[in-house]
Amino acid sequence: MNLSMKWLNDYVKADMPIKDFVAGITMSGSKVETYSEMRGEVDKVVVGKVLEIKKHEDSDKLWICQVDVGQEAPIQIVTAATNVFAGAFIPVVLDGGTVIDRHNNTVAKIKKGKLRGAESCGMFCSFEELGMDNSDFPYSSADGVLILNDDPDFDKIKIGEDVLKFVGLDDISVEFEITNNRPDCLSVLGLARETSATFGLPYNVKEPTFKGAGGDINSELSVTVENPQLCSRYMAAKVKNVKIAPSPRWMVERLRASGVRAINNLVDITNFVMLEYGHPMHAFDARYVAGNKIIVRNAKDGETLKLLDDAKEPVKLSPEMLVICDAEKPMAVAGVMGGEYSGIWDDTTEVIFESACFDGVSVRRTARKVGERTEASSRFEKGLDPINAKNALYRALQLVEELGCGEVVSNVIDVDNSNKTPHKLKHDYKWVNNFLGADIPEEEQIDILERLGFEYDRANHEITVPSVRIDMNLPCDIGEEIARIYGYNKIASTIPKLSSRSRITKEQRFADKLVNIMISQGCLETMTFSFISPKSYEKIRLPEEQRKSVTLLRPLGEDTSVMRTTMIPSMTELIVRNINNRTPAGRFFELGRIYLPKSTPEELPEERDVLCIGAYGPDEDFFTLKGIVEAIFDETGINAKFSRSADPTFHTGRCADITAGNVKIGTIGELHPIVAENYGVKERIYIASLDTAAMCELADTEIRYRQLPKFPAISRDLSLVCDDSTESGEIIEIINRAGKHLEQVTLFDMYKGAGVPEGKKSLSYKLVMRREDKTMEAEEADKSVEKILKALGEKNITLR
């Protein structure tokens, strides 16, 4: 909403400095986005009168003028304009002044200078150079300078006066961001009311009236509302002997400052009233209202209407849409836009004004369906007031008479099914104070409410809400009105005494622990989008049955269209991006979420938290990543097992399922070379994906102190030879099963090559044995080793 300060001042005298106005009105709830002086960059332009004009001696095209600009002596101006004459009143930009250079879209600074030897102390301006256009000066042309003698207000002109005042550029346009609950503030009057309340200034608005030129509208027009649910009030008025002409300057100025271009008096009146009262109106040329009938009804299947916009194709209407029809056909989509014949033409002689209340939800849906969210529809959809509909219509008729652009038929048609019972609310000043935590005296509260236009009944402590204030329903609404006008920042701040206490869940502690471990392992925490491209599943060779995902109805693009069921594509993508950025190595982790759909899309998916870890670079391999994962298990007391896996995303020989008990908690591996290739890289990428909920369930993070050993340990190293296919995990299991008093079994070397037969490998383990009750004897240790070797021997694993 762009507000003309001049227009506002017609109703409330807000003549404080603009900065104070903007700050005050923002802090009472009408937020100012920005404001701008209408003069823009135009400066030092005055009204000049050409006293004398003669040809330049050295030029065919230039003229030398003596111009009275209100100074002691006339100044000399050299011009190439062809429409200058002695006696012409023209805007003159003086030495040092600035005007708009439309062709280059810049500001031009004018300086005294010589043109072919003749001194020129200023420049004549066209309306373009003042930043205006033809609609502001219909009598002038952009080709020549602006001759003010033709202006309807010529009699008010003064030589030497700032021309901006004369042409109405002495205004300020204030841009408001009006919240959804206050459609009434999308109007000059609404903001005048707020201004009055905020600054304590009188609000001078009278109910509009018109005289009428006689006649009875009922003999010339009939209105039928077939669906009063969607149209609670429909008013129509008629104007005869219409004289289409440009609007007066004050109206053009105000429209311009509100961001609306003037067109002609009748069209301008509807726009003017919409801005002033916040109520959209429509004007029909009576010639095209067939049968002199207006019927407000739902559209019929198959009906179409070509709208007033530039679209070539007519829009298809459907039965849920409300349309304004004549005896034969739809003329307008109610509250949205008129049809091509519903407007005002240069030869229009009779006009029918419509001022109505249409159902907001219906208008919104219809507007969306026909693809036309207009100024009118955006107002109707918030819900408009039936009383204001009448005021708007009367104001329009008043303006028709004031501007002398036609004869108004003395009465209007009013099909009114609206509820106009006054809306009353109880006011309890103590409740308000308790609610706000404030101490605002009753009188001050009443004063605030009255300033806002609420009628106050002191006997019953009751307010009557103005009908435009659709947002007032509950005591807390009154509380807000009082708070915002009193001043939010004047209400004392207090700290509540909370009777609740902070709790931390096991899952939250576990997540914190995981993060700490990841940081300790040198991993950078990442943050990836939770929606991905469905093509990612193909890229990571995810089995078909795991690809079913929660799918967005209208995603921004294919690459963000499904909610991920795995974090591997997100991790792979970010690693690939880092590889492409030529970062040589990296370790990453993310505690992210995956979304596993249920059988129907109406059911919410299962959301699971996943810890995804990724690594790449010359120093990383399967075992460095496994080391990171093992750090988690060591720290959280999870007894996890790694077993070879055939997950198609990963390298067939370098992938393991991670289980604990019977629960699968994750997968670890090197990405399959085809997967890496699908992402356009050759580098080896290592990824682990762990289910945090499953881990949290299994975790044993309780710390129990164990006494330090009292007796010395004995250690033995075993170098074993086994088949290449034998896995170390299996050997350790055999050792643990067969040995006695084993405290630790660690693999410290793996060797293949000379000395070890083809198809075999050598694995070396350190065994640490200790008794808790006494010093372990060497013989006992040797016996234990013997047993272990025997057990290993059965599996064809021998000492090297």
What is the footprint of another protein within residues 328-367 (CB under 8 A)? 360-361, 364
458 binds another protein (CB under 8 A): no
Q: Partners of 108 in the beta sheet?
A: 99
With binding defined as CB under 8 A, does residue 506 bind another protein? no
By CB under 8 A, what part of segment 259-288 binds another protein? none
Using CB under 8 A as the binding rule, whether residue 521 contacts another protein is answered as yes
- In the complex, the smallest distance separating the C-beta of residue 700 from another protein, rounded to whole angstroms, is 23
Quote the tokens at residue 636. 């959280």
CA 414 to chain centre: 40
- Is residue 525 part of the contact set for another protein (CB under 8 A)? yes
Residue 445 interacting with another protein (CB under 8 A): no
Choices 2-10, 36-44, 138-146, 589-597; region in contact with another protein by CB under 8 A: 589-597
Indicate the Cα dihedral angle 308, 311, 316, 321, nearest 10°. Answer: -40
Distance CA 719, CA 799 (A): 6
Place of tokens 């070797």: 789
104, 419, 499, 707: residue in contact with another protein (rule CB under 8 A): 499
Q: Based on CB atoms, which residue is closest to another protein, 516 or 652?
A: 516
Interactions with another protein, residue window 94-153 (CB under 8 A): none
Using the rule CB under 8 A, give the single segment among 11-19, 105-113, 156-164, 477-485 that binds another protein. 477-485
| Under rule CB under 8 A, residue 682 binds another protein | no
Asked if 684 interacts with another protein (CB under 8 A), we say no
751 bridge partner residues: 762
SS3 percent helix, strand, coil of the chain, rounded to 5, is 30, 30, 40
483 binds another protein, rule: CB under 8 A: yes
Residue 599 lies near another protein (rule: CB under 8 A): no
- Under the criterion CB under 8 A, does residue 624 sit at the interface with another protein? no
| Nearest partner of 406 among 245, 236, 269, 242, judged by Cα | 242
Contact between 101 and 110 (Cβ < 8 Å)? no
Instruction: Output phi, psi for 667, to 5 deg.
Output: -140, 145
Q: Is 498 in the site for another protein (CB under 8 A)?
A: yes
Half-sphere exposure at residue 740, Cβ-oriented, CA atoms within 13 angstroms: 14
On whether the CB atoms of residues 273 and 208 are closer than 8 A, the answer is no
Q: Does 612 bind another protein (CB under 8 A)?
A: no
Helices (runs of H) and strands (runs of E) counted in the chain: 20, 39
Pick 177 or 402: Cβ nearer another protein:
177
What is the footprint of another protein within residues 415-434 (CB under 8 A)?
A: 434
| Minimum gap (Å) between residue 194 Cβ and another protein | 11
The footprint of another protein on residues 531-550 (CB under 8 A) is 531, 550
Radius of gyration of the chain (CA): 42
Least distance to another protein, CB of residue 508, Å: 6
Per CB under 8 A, does 587 bind another protein? yes
Q: Are 464 and 457 in contact (CB under 8 A)?
A: yes
Query: Can you tell me which of 552, 663, 674, 747 binds another protein, judged by CB under 8 A?
Result: 552
**Exactly one of 73, 495, 646, 754 binds another protein (CB under 8 A); which one?**
495
User: Where are the alpha helices (H) located in 679-774, listed in sequence order?
Assistant: 692-698, 728-738
Q: Are strands 118-120 and 231-240 parallel, antiparallel or unpaired?
A: unpaired
State the DSSP code for 544: G
How far is the CA of 437 from the CAs of 440, 484, 743, in angstroms?
10, 14, 67
Paired sense of beta strands 641-644 and 714-723, if any: unpaired
Residue 604 CB, nearest distance to another protein (Å)? 5
Query: Which of 607, 717, 749, 777 is the binder for another protein (CB under 8 A)?
Result: 607
The label of the residue with tokens 């008013």 reads 235
Q: Nearest approach, Cβ of 792 to another protein (angstroms)?
A: 37
Q: What is the 3-state secondary structure (H, E, C) of 625-679?
A: HHHHHHHHHHHHCCCCEEEECCCCCEEEEEEEEEEECCEEEEEEEEECHHHHHHC
- Nearest to another protein of 593, 766 (CB atom): 593
Longest dimension (CA), the chain: 132
Which residues from 21-60 bind another protein, rule CB under 8 A? 26-29, 31
Q: Which of 476, 663, 693, 747 binds another protein (CB under 8 A)?
A: 476
Answer for the pair 783, 771: CB distance below 8 angstroms, yes or no: no
Nearer to another protein, 217 or 676 (CB): 676
Q: Which is nearer to another protein, 121 or 185 (CB)?
A: 185
Positive/negative CA dihedral, 552, 555, 558, 561? negative
Q: Does the footprint of another protein cover residue 160 (CB under 8 A)?
A: no
Does 601 contact another protein by CB under 8 A?
A: yes
Contact between 632 and another protein per CB under 8 A: no
In the DSSP assignment, the letter for residue 756 is S
Per CB under 8 A, contacts with another protein among 183-242 are none
Nearest distance, CB of residue 588 and another protein, angstroms? 7
Q: What is the DSSP letter of 551?
A: B
Binding another protein (rule: CB under 8 A), the pick from 44, 182, 249, 684 is 182
Residue 551 sits in the site that holds another protein (CB under 8 A) = yes
Residue 581 interacts with another protein (CB under 8 A): yes or no = yes
User: Among residues 199, 203, 595, 751, which is the contact residue for another protein, using CB under 8 A?
Assistant: 595
> What tokens were used for 16?
């404080």
User: Could you say which DSSP state residue 471 is in?
Assistant: T
Q: Return the range that interacts with another protein (CB under 8 A); candidates 6-14, 38-46, 207-215, 473-481.
A: 473-481
Question: Does residue 605 belong to the site contacting another protein (CB under 8 A)?
Answer: yes
- 48/617 with CB nearer another protein: 617
Residue 250, SS3 per DSSP: helix
Taking the complex as a whole, how short is the minimal distance between the CB of residue 616 and another protein, in angstroms? 10
